[in-house]
Amino acid sequence: MKDKDPIACGIFVTPVDHTGFNLSAFSNLEGNVSEEEAEHYEALLEGIGYMIQNNPFFFVDLGNMLLDQAEMEIEFEPADELEQAIAESKIIPFNKKN
C-alpha cells in the first residue's frame, strides 16, 4: 500500500546548462487547507522564488556559511595578557543596565 502524499508545497530548482537554473513551484494545498491558508503559502512561494531568482548568490553564500559552520568548532583561547590580567584582578567588571 502506497503512503498518501503529504499536504505540501515547494519549489523545484532545475539546473540549466552550467550557467543558470529554472524555478517551478508545486502545491497540493488547494482543497486540502483553507483558501486563506493556500493563498498565504502561494504568496510565500512567490516571494521565495523572487528572492532566489534575483539574488541566487546570496543564498549560495548563506548556504556555504551554514555548511561551514556545521563543520567548524570555534574555540576561544585567551591571550597570555588576558589570563594574567584576570589573575591579577585587573579586569573591570561591566555592570549592565536592566
Residue 94 covered by a domain = no
Residue 92 covered by a domain = no
**pTM tops 0.75, yes or no:** no
Residue 60 lies in domain = 9-87
Residue 30 covered by a domain = yes
Residue 93 covered by a domain = no
pLDDT band at 71 (very low <50, low <70, confident <90, very high): confident
Cell numbers standing for residue 19: 550557467
Q: Is the pLDDT of residue 1 over 50?
A: no
Residue that wins the pLDDT comparison between 90 and 42: 42
Residue 2 covered by a domain = no
Phi/psi region, residue 89 (left: phi>0; alpha: psi -120 to 50; beta: rest), is left
d(C-alpha 13, C-alpha 52), whole Å: 10
Domains of the chain: total? 1
Residue 83 covered by a domain = yes
